[in-house]
Structure 1
């Protein structure tokens, strides 16, 4: 069984529409990648050491892969995922890779299977399907490639034609890796941090009090107080801006903002530090801080992105054994119109404020996000994210939002990945799908050919650069 890539993959089956899609795609296929939201560790590029082995590269940090194998009854330890306490047996990289190859068929039709096939063929020249029979051979072939200069992280960064790569970082991170990359004349890329303050804004988050204490210490105050807390958050945002950051990202269960008095906010803050704040009060304070974060974005210019709708660590036993980001985060129903209104009442008509709203609940695309972005100058529609960054879901997104908001009220494609090698596959997928969608509109007489040619170029570069102030 040969593993290959169809040159016309993801294009419409109708010959004439496919011809238009192919031409549109080819006009942008080689353009640089703009990746304004992701999770790659910048130290990979700073240290520039070879990736260790195929299992570490393809399995260890990709919860798209591990969750589907877990659903088939394969323990995470069998995939090389270490336990928190380092107890119990963890499969060796070769054993984990064998397990993956033996179950390659499980990924047929999935987005992760599409990306993986792209990586195996395009990057490593693999021509055989992963299987029990080919596992060791493929492991050795990939391992040998990883030891060559062409597969060092910086060489891959250049070959991927990445123009901008954003990471996601804790507010107290010193950003030393970013500073070192920016100061290194041998590294021409642009790697920028993203301010991710969730565990500093929500009193219900684990470690919130410790995080607040760390802010106070950094701010030079012996004890935490509300005014100092706000000043420290603003100061850390400036630290990120000084290191190239363009956005602050908020991962909330529900996108709810609330306006309360300063005295009420100060009282909730004090109760939280004393351990007396109930869940209702914690939710109110977190909603207030979402509004405060919008205020800070208006003042300092950071784009505000909101990634809601995920029930994190759904499987308690897996979380306790393997920790977070181990594949059991599950989408929940999300609504925006009421919850985000306090922010829009204040800042929605301010063209200098950029608010990018994402969703994993695709029912909100046509019902809420497209109408909001189609009216408020501040609102941009976040690209299909996480469980929706898949071929059919992306086309549904385009159909659901374009008729109301057009093509220019979006964020541009977001790869949102820790899996460094999958970045070009994901962006290539997006370009093919946009070409397919535009080709259909051309064939239906809804968009003329010159407009489609302009739009597909703008979707790759102009749209994400505008939304993220790049």
Structure 2
């Protein structure tokens, strides 16, 4: 199958609207990339080592792709996924190439086609017949100096890249990057405290002991625990962090007194807290995190609505983040009310709400962001960062909250090479949406161009305090 990128891809079919979309896209196509939430390892840029092979780069760590291959009966272990033993990269690539048709129509297929064409100059889709040839062609490019991580960082036009980091990380890699005169990029850590706030998280007690020991307080001292979290947040801020991320199952919050919360905390540390108590404690800590963000300025991003590790057998064999996380229904209005009652009107607080349940955007997220100055609409995330879902998102939130209560596009990816393809997709889709408004007489061309630029540049800078 030929691999050719249509220059008008994702634009409206109607010729007149397509012309408008094309012009709008040209106004933003080459603007720098701001990526304030993602999962690329900072050591990738610190070490700046050549990528080892096409499979580990484009397949093994991309759970969007490996989960589809698993659904077709392919064992992820043969691809080297998760904690599986390293796989033969050529065999893994051949497996992907033989099953390339499974990606047709998916966002993953769209991004990969973009990467293979734009970055590696391929003009045929991978297949059983050309698997070895495409593998060799990509491998040859990866050996070139221009395909090392820092060179690609510059080529992609990335201005800001945020990572996701454990609260106890010393952030030495970020410090090395910031002090390296040969690297001009801005790589920011992100405070991700979930495992320290949820008593049901693996090794909760051990994590708390490490956290409080670093702060010089007893593990069962609730005030010391809070002080330790604040100290780690300060450490992150000193290393350039602008946000704290919360990947919770549900965005449940509850307002408890210090005494009530202290009782739950001591039981949690002792391993004597039931599921109901764990929910209350976690819900109170999410509220307290908002209070800390109001004080120290870290943007609070909430990523709820995913049943993590849905397949216990896969989790036991391969570990987390290996393709078996499944969306669940999310509700914000009632769950978040205690937090917003306490902190929602505080000046300077920024809370960005994401969802994998797209029904919540028009029903709850847009109305909340359309009232509370602290609340912003997170971009389509995970299962929703796909062309049709992005257009549905724009239609769902714009009439209620407009364009300026959003976060700007968030790529949220571990796949470094997909970052420009994802941002380009978002810019094309926003141009398509704005073009329709212009064509329908609902917005002037000059206003549409101004909005298109702001969606890429001004919004993420303002929302994430960049």
Structure 1 length-normalised TM: 0.98
Give the ranges of 4+ consecutive aligned residues of structure 1 lying more than 4 Å apart after TM superposition. Answer: none
Q: Determine which of 236, 239, 246 is the counterpart of 1:240.
A: 236
Alignment match, 1:206: 202
Alignment match, 1:374: 370
Alignment match, 2:62: 62
Alignment match, 1:194: 190
Residues of 2 paired with 1:221 and 1:307: CA distance? 30
Q: Is the 8 A contact 1:309 1:359 kept in 2?
A: yes
Alignment match, 1:95: 91
- CA offset digits 1:385-407 (Å, max 9, x no partner): 00000000000000000000000
Q: Is the 8 A contact 1:79 1:100 kept in 2?
A: no
Alignment match, 1:13: 13
Residues of 1 paired with 2:226 and 2:23: CA distance? 52
Are residue 449 (structure 1) and residue 445 (structure 2) matched?
A: yes
Q: Is the 8 A contact 2:217 2:225 kept in 1?
A: no
Q: Determine which of 434, 445, 463 is the counterpart of 2:459.
A: 463
Alignment match, 2:165: 169
Which blocks of at least 5 consecutive residues in structure 1 are unaligned?
none
- Cα distance, 1:466–1:54 mapped onto 2, change above 3 Å: same
Alignment match, 2:418: 422
Residues of 2 paired with 1:456 and 1:82: CA distance? 38
Q: Secondary structure at the match of 2:335?
A: coil
Residues of 2 paired with 1:168 and 1:344: CA distance? 25
Residues of 2 paired with 1:306 and 1:98: CA distance? 38
Choose 344-353 or 207-216, whichever is displaced more. Answer: 344-353
Alignment match, 1:401: 397
Q: Is the 8 A contact 1:55 1:80 kept in 2?
A: no
Residues of 1 paired with 2:217 and 2:252: CA distance? 30
- Cα distance, 1:203–1:223 mapped onto 2, change above 3 Å: closer
Residues of 1 paired with 2:91 and 2:216: CA distance? 51
Shift of 1:207: 1.1
Q: Determine which of 126, 131, 156 is the counterpart of 1:130.
A: 126
Q: Secondary structure at the match of 1:334?
A: coil
Residues of 1 paired with 2:244 and 2:147: CA distance? 31
Alignment match, 2:31: 31
Residues of 1 paired with 2:249 and 2:206: CA distance? 22
Q: Determine which of 284, 306, 313 is the counterpart of 2:280.
A: 284
- CA offset digits 1:110-134 (Å, max 9, x no partner): 0000000000000000011100010
Residues of 2 paired with 1:436 and 1:223: CA distance? 54
Alignment match, 2:339: 343
Q: Secondary structure at the match of 1:305?
A: strand
Q: Is the 8 A contact 2:82 2:319 kept in 1?
A: no
Alignment match, 1:182: 178
Q: Secondary structure at the match of 2:334?
A: coil
Shift of 1:418: 0.2
Residues of 1 paired with 2:335 and 2:125: CA distance? 48
- CA offset digits 1:179-208 (Å, max 9, x no partner): 000001110000000000000001111111
Shift of 1:82: 5.6
- Cα distance, 1:223–1:389 mapped onto 2, change above 3 Å: closer
Q: Secondary structure at the match of 1:165?
A: strand
Shift of 1:261: 1.2
- Cα distance, 1:223–1:441 mapped onto 2, change above 3 Å: closer
Residues of 2 paired with 1:384 and 1:129: CA distance? 28
Residues of 1 paired with 2:142 and 2:178: CA distance? 25
In the alignment of these two chains, the number of paired residues is 466
Which blocks of at least 5 consecutive residues in structure 2 are unaligned?
none
Shift of 1:272: 1.1
Q: Is the 8 A contact 1:78 1:99 kept in 2?
A: no
Alignment match, 1:220: 216
- CA offset digits 1:16-75 (Å, max 9, x no partner): 000000000011100000000000000000000000000000111110010011010001
Are residue 146 (structure 1) and residue 172 (structure 2) matched?
A: no
Q: Secondary structure at the match of 1:464?
A: helix
- CA offset digits 1:306-334 (Å, max 9, x no partner): 00000000011110000000000000000
Alignment match, 1:391: 387
Q: Secondary structure at the match of 1:68?
A: helix
- CA offset digits 1:128-180 (Å, max 9, x no partner): 11000100001111111101100010000000000000000000001111000
RMSD: 0.9
Residues of 2 paired with 1:351 and 1:398: CA distance? 27
Q: Secondary structure at the match of 1:215?
A: helix
Alignment match, 2:260: 264
Shift of 1:222: 4.9
Residues of 2 paired with 1:240 and 1:32: CA distance? 25
